[in-house]
Structure 1
Amino acid sequence: MPPREALSERNSNNTMAQSNADVKARKNGKSTNASRAPSASAFPTPPASSARSGYESVYSAPSSSFQASSQQHSLAERNAWLADDVDVNEILESSQDYAERSDQLEHYGDLPTKIVGVRYYNGYANAGQQILILREPGNPYDGNAIRIDNVAGDQIGHIPRKVAAKLAPYIDNRLLHLEGQLAGEIGQFDCPLTVHMYGADPNTAEGQSLQEKMAADKLPTKALKEAERKRKQEEKERLAAARRAAVAAKGKYTNQASSAGDSSTNPMDLSDILEASERINPREISGAAEKLGATEEDLKNMPMAAKPDGIKTQMLPYQLQALQWLLDQESPKPPGSTNEESVQLWTQSNTNGRYTNLATQFVTSERPELASGGLLADDMGLGKTLEMISLLVADAGKGTTLVVAPLSVMSNWSGQIATHVKESHKLEVYTYHGAGRVKMSAEDFEKYDVVVTTYQTLAMDYMPKNSSKQPEKRLRSTGLYSVKWRRVILDEGHNIRNPKAKGTAAVTALMSRSRWVLTGTPIVNSLKDLYSLLRFVGVSGGLQQLDIFNRVLVRPMKNGDVSATWLLKLIMQSFTLRRRKEMAFIDLKLPPLEEFVHRVDFTEKERERYDALEKQAKGALNTFENKGTAATYSHLLEVLLRMRQCCNHWQLCGERVTNLLAQFEKAKTVALTPENMKALQDILQVQIESQEDCPICLESLHQPVITSCGHSFGQECIAKVIETQHKCPMCRAELKDETCLVPPARDGGEDSADEDLDVTQSSSKLEALMHILEATKGNGNKTVIFSQWTRFLDIVQSRLDKDGYKYCRLDGTMSAQKRDGALQQLEGDKDTTVMLASLGVCAVGLNLTAANNVILNDTWWAPAIEDQAVDRVHRLGQQKETRVFRLVMDKSIEEQTILVQKDKRKLMMVAFSEKSNKRDSARTGRLADIRKLLA
């Protein structure tokens, strides 16, 4: 572990973010300004008669324009909600939008200055301590005033008048984003300060104009030159590595040829299949992430609690270790002056007794607020629910626990509690959900040990129908917000990873003594996923503010800062318990899991069709890079989709999307015929898979829809635009009402039956699939065949009928009753040896251990989706050796996708490199991926 001085040094050179104007409000109105007397060198706080809205963050224009902006965005919510049909991912208005994207800006330079008027500041200061910069356009003593606060929201002083006069126009016009940190100790009258300046991409017109203005105002831009030098060096190294990889890859693979459509080909036995496949271990990369947490040896030696008397289930040793950790986390002890270890990033000095936060270098003499709870992030299938139930029993009688869960697993909690808890220690469980739920007070809820609800119900209680303003955080007379809970448990807690979503706001507003997040995937896309979870459990010291989180972790991690990696490791150790089922001491006694890439050759005719599509894709990429319009980008994504479909079966890649795009050339909108709706859904699905952003809110598509003019949005965002403007914000085409919106095909790109599809035709991949089925049948083996396209499952189903296989099917077009029947058939009927399954439907929430072989027919952009599908089969309860076959067409986009997936695993799980929230930056990253796919 690097010494603390290394982190402090990094803090003194690293970037800082500033706060919004609501920092003090989060302190329940506490302020030290009232006791301060004005001085010649300080800008006193305006008198009480001044409106608080006159104090704006550095992201805000003066209050008049800020108020106009607020009025423009305060729109009524949609009226078409059903009783509990609330979108927990709806984006709420946020005053921190610019702060949230601050890590995407370019560093222009650093301005040394000072803080004046510090004589009335009673706090402490360290060199490298992070501070907050707030613009005060309403300050009656100086309209250019810029105030400096510590991360707790207490005023330190102001920037000198002359410097503020120079910087204020950049802030008010949102040309620069300012961050800062103390450069030395506080003196009698002032304190040295370094202001870091960030702005738009310097290669854009906006960036060029900014550089010219800064040069005229004699503001430093030295950091830009250093960044450009570094970029050139990295590009040179990347090209050299690519050349070495290309040389090494030549002649690496030899592939068995398949004869599409010729079912008389000599069958291959299992040894032939395995010999023709490449053994892989995709989880090996993800495992590197565990280095950020406790080591396996440390986890093995954790103390163990005694099993509670009320638990009747036999608990494994690692589960009892988890129980002890849960108990300890709920009663954290502050750091002591003689203890060298930090507690939740806080340390205490052995000389003056003050507490210092290692992330922000914030110093206080008051005992810090510590989080009671944390993140239980054990691998899927290790028993997180049982571990948490054992905590409930061990702590029974001390208050009511609220469990918030997705609807699909809500009933699991009452069932699991009944299964694991002795009748003599029975926990009273109440399910609070649905339109028929009764109005309940705190006294009503407190009659139960456990209350179970859903994210949707919680969001409805938080912001009822037609509400547009977030409520204050306070106890109410009835409902879920009338209680201060003993603890709140979030099942599948990664659902709150978006800090601006309604569901996240709803859970954060709950009052409780302890807070827990249960998730097997604490980080799905980026490090910011972790931020929302940490804020919920109660991280302190400044990290609970996203702009500060960006400055100390997100940007430094992106830049490869070693001390940031150390800090992230410290955070994971402080708040998270994560064990993987592969760890030796877990000893689940699971049979081995072997994964293979099984490469398949195109036939000559298939290759001709694929090569034509690839040529078209490269042309579309070239056109987009030259013209850069939304239409050319959609065309590029559409051709990529057809290339992927062609890898499965040549019949899947029809011409309907091409025909649709031709219609857009003639008119802005198209008629929503069944054929056109299918084509629009194809386009939308590609945008979903490639993680496109909603052009309105710049967040990942939430409840995605596509318009009759071919543009994709989050449903709530475009619904509000239609309500007020009735025009598409991208092309200004008329959108009369929401009937112009087309939702995605059901469950991840699934199509309804296609009457034009000849399901009797074969393909190279289908023949390879049948060879594997033939080679693995018998001895009680069962196989799950995954695909994201139900049309391909239709083709496979026809072939299974022809060859006499008994099978069941599970996809998004089926009712819940039929899905349950399919699961029962797979498990209970020994003659049913195959399940056809939609990848999107089966990624979570199912137990498929009746099967022991998995065939993944098509590659998925997000590797975690494939991993979760495999984990449905290889989990606790699996009795047989499990094999996974990824069918990949040789020399195709699928082969390149495997490489892109490998990079994504590294980015998300090791470096936690950020997916940009800024649309242009995000698209730039995806274009880099597309270039790799077409390399």
Structure 2
Amino acid sequence: MKEREEGINKGGILADDMGLGKTVQTISLIVSNPSKDPACKSTLVVAPLALIRQWESEIKSKTTDGLLSVLVYHGSERISNIETLKTYDVVITTYNVLTGEFQPPAKDERDLDSEFIKPGKDSGPLFKVTWYRVILDEAQTIKNKSTKGAQACCALYSNYRFCLTGTPIQNNLDELYSLFRFLRVKPYCDYATYKREVSDPFKQSRPKTAIKRLQIILKAVMIRRTKFSKLEGKPLLNLPQRKVELKTIPFSLQERRFYDSLEDRMRRKLDAYMQEGSMGTNYTNVLCLLLRLRQACNHPKLVGGQQSAESDIGPTKDDNEEIDDLAAMLGSLDVNVRQCRICQEPLPAGKPKGECDTCSASVLAKQPTQEQLVTSTKIEAMLDILKNTAKTHPGEKTIIFSQFTSMLDLIENALKENGFKYCRYDGQMNNQKREDSLRRIRERPEYTVMLISLKCGSLGLNLTVANRVLMMDIWWNPALEDQAIDRVHRIGQTRDVLVTRLTIVSTVEDRILKLQEKKHRQHQEEQEIERTGAHDAHQWRRMKRGRGPAVKPTFSLFDPGLTTRYVCNTFVFFLPSPC
């Protein structure tokens, strides 16, 4: 990092695998390369809200007392005096605070020839300081160049700039441009140049040309290590083992009847879309139908009926977040709030909320009653695992992930009834409550369970105090699950990490597992291609049979580490082979 900072670009992208210590490396950079100008000595760290206290804690624990002065710039009582801000070695803030303080310049003040928007006169204190260094943690946050947040980050004044991200690409190559613009990587910080040299060739059946150009740029600005990287033939990092167990369990009789009726209703609805030729226009509805099946695997209450009082008509907040993730490539898709929560049929006039009459009669009528089903198959399996852990490995802590906060609510009830001390971490909690939860799981031995929503807690957190992970539901892409597991399996972990993934037999989760296995095979194949130097998968297979020499790869986008078929957060992004 120091070499990158002292180079022509004055910074770069640190794209190490999650859990390899990007924060610690950055702190080392701050200490080893300080400013020699007392009037411009401050490093600004911009991070998601969930990570600002962790940054503060890491700086204090990894440096000697008094070496670095740290200010967390957040909350209603933020320091407004610019000269006071300049006295701190490190200032930590959030993307939301930065965006809120940014005001674009008036039209008559704008430089139409510049790609960079300068802050307006009414912008806040962060834009009136010339920073020695600006660090963007989880820099994929600014992937959309048109957002106010991305513009705000680019408008900061600084001598040096760094992006920290384990996922520099999530959906498309244009997301890299936003990082290049922030880093001032010339000439590719100009969008017209980036579009002409990279985006357009890639889209116009000339991916090999675009990839070669990106290789050259990234070699100059990006540093990347994986957990499997080696130095002088030896592993760069020796982490404890990560053991993953897939625990497949059958439904109870009541749950099976409910799930089968729901699946039958969904199948008939999908058949109708196909016959009408309206699958494309009902894309959001199809996602909702799949979501309902996945929710039914967790607990019948998540689907409708008794749970519908939690929300207005249509999908819940959990639903909308997942649909947004799945539909990210297709642009903004609105969810019709006048539809049945289960089958997405339009509700008749006068029906204010809930389910259509057909679903109420054919599906919810078969939903187990409160007396028949207090918990669910997955919750019972979870309790068995926790009880066995408490008996055989007392003191070991378990992190439980679910994509649905409503599922976490149901798990909470089960934990209370069975006497488990637990804490919770999700996006609906304010920052102080999140920090209190992290402090309890880290410092108090009696708290042995932590509930985390997958979307909120899959990035940035350090939870090496635990060594057991329980995944209550599975996601289409295994990369998101891996990110969550890396909260535990990372630098600082001293014990083997045991991961249990709960799935229900003969459900939609079977198909999700097959999709995950396919993506894992593709990713492993690409890693082997990188390792052996094969040109593509076909040549790699020939080399395995002893029929072909190794050829230097010409199409690997990231060198080293990220593969051409890059497994992203929301889907697998296939970079076409030039062959």
Mark yes or no: TM-score above 0.5: yes
AA partner of residue 12 (structure 2): G
CA distance in 1, matches of 2:516, 2:428: 28
State which of 670, 676, 686 in structure 1 corresponds to 2:312: 676
Q: Which residue of 2 aligns with 1:393?
A: 31
Q: Which residue of 1 aligns with 2:326?
A: 690
Note the 1:381-780 alignment, pairs <5 A: 381-396=19-34, 397-398=36-37, 399-400=40-41, 401-422=43-64, 426-437=67-78, 439-440=80-81, 446-463=86-103, 472=111, 473-474=117-118, 479-542=125-188, 544-545=190-191, 548-549=194-195, 552=198, 556=202, 561-585=207-231, 587-603=236-252, 605-625=254-274, 626-628=276-278, 632-655=282-305, 676-677=312-313, 679=315, 681=317, 684-691=320-327, 699=331, 708-709=337-338, 761-777=374-390, 778-780=392-394
CA contact (8 A) 1:463 1:471 kept: no
SS at structure 1 position matched to 2:452: strand
CA deviation profile, 1:108-154 (whole Å, cap 9, x unmatched): xxxxxxxxxxxxxxxxxxxxxxxxxxxxxxxxxxxxxxxxxxxxxxx
CA distance in 1, matches of 2:317, 2:75: 31
CA contact (8 A) 2:314 2:338 kept: no
Alpha-carbon distance change, 677 to 882 in structure 1, aligned in 2, over 3 angstroms: same
CA contact (8 A) 2:50 2:431 kept: no
CA deviation profile, 1:36-61 (whole Å, cap 9, x unmatched): xxxxxxxxxxxxxxxxxxxxxxxxxx
CA distance in 2, matches of 1:618, 1:546: 47
Q: CA deviation at 1:489?
A: 1.5
Alpha-carbon distance change, 482 to 634 in structure 1, aligned in 2, over 3 angstroms: closer
Q: Which residue of 2 aligns with 1:331?
A: 6
CA contact (8 A) 1:689 1:861 kept: no
Q: CA deviation at 1:881?
A: 0.8
SS at structure 2 position matched to 1:382: coil
State which of 467, 480, 485 in structure 2 corresponds to 1:870: 485
CA contact (8 A) 2:315 2:337 kept: no
Alpha-carbon distance change, 569 to 600 in structure 1, aligned in 2, over 3 angstroms: farther
AA partner of residue 452 (structure 2): A
Alpha-carbon distance change, 602 to 910 in structure 1, aligned in 2, over 3 angstroms: farther
State which of 441, 458, 466 in structure 2 corresponds to 1:851: 466
SS at structure 2 position matched to 1:378: coil
SS at structure 1 position matched to 2:288: helix
Q: CA deviation at 1:576?
A: 1.0
SS at structure 1 position matched to 2:300: coil
AA partner of residue 552 (structure 1): V
AA partner of residue 487 (structure 2): R
CA deviation profile, 1:573-599 (whole Å, cap 9, x unmatched): 221111223435565442111123222
CA distance in 1, matches of 2:461, 2:109: 36
CA deviation profile, 1:162-193 (whole Å, cap 9, x unmatched): xxxxxxxxxxxxxxxxxxxxxxxxxxxxxxxx
Q: Which residue of 2 aligns with 1:883?
A: 498
CA distance in 2, matches of 1:689, 1:757: 33
Matched, 1:374 2:23: no
Alpha-carbon distance change, 710 to 394 in structure 1, aligned in 2, over 3 angstroms: same
Matched, 1:840 2:455: yes
CA contact (8 A) 1:782 1:852 kept: yes
CA distance in 1, matches of 2:109, 2:207: 37
Q: CA deviation at 1:819?
A: 4.2
Aligned residues: 493
Could you tell me the TM-score, scaled by structure 1's length? 0.46
Higher-Rg member (1/2)? 1
CA contact (8 A) 2:472 2:501 kept: yes
CA contact (8 A) 1:527 1:914 kept: no
SS at structure 1 position matched to 2:131: strand
AA partner of residue 645 (structure 1): Q
Alpha-carbon distance change, 550 to 612 in structure 1, aligned in 2, over 3 angstroms: farther
CA contact (8 A) 1:372 1:515 kept: yes
Alpha-carbon distance change, 814 to 552 in structure 1, aligned in 2, over 3 angstroms: closer
Structure 2: gaps of 5 or more residues = 112-116, 341-345, 347-368, 524-556, 573-579
AA partner of residue 385 (structure 2): I
Q: CA deviation at 1:488?
A: 1.8
SS at structure 2 position matched to 1:402: strand
CA distance in 2, matches of 1:859, 1:455: 29
Q: CA RMSD in A?
A: 4.3
AA partner of residue 386 (structure 1): V
CA deviation profile, 1:513-552 (whole Å, cap 9, x unmatched): 3211112322233333222112211222346326744753
Alpha-carbon distance change, 912 to 552 in structure 1, aligned in 2, over 3 angstroms: farther
AA partner of residue 385 (structure 1): T
CA contact (8 A) 2:47 2:136 kept: yes
Alpha-carbon distance change, 679 to 555 in structure 1, aligned in 2, over 3 angstroms: same
SS at structure 1 position matched to 2:226: coil
Alpha-carbon distance change, 408 to 551 in structure 1, aligned in 2, over 3 angstroms: same
CA distance in 1, matches of 2:178, 2:393: 48
Q: CA deviation at 1:771?
A: 4.2
Alpha-carbon distance change, 440 to 630 in structure 1, aligned in 2, over 3 angstroms: farther
Which stretch of structure 1 is more off in the superposition, 603-612 or 870-879?
Answer: 603-612
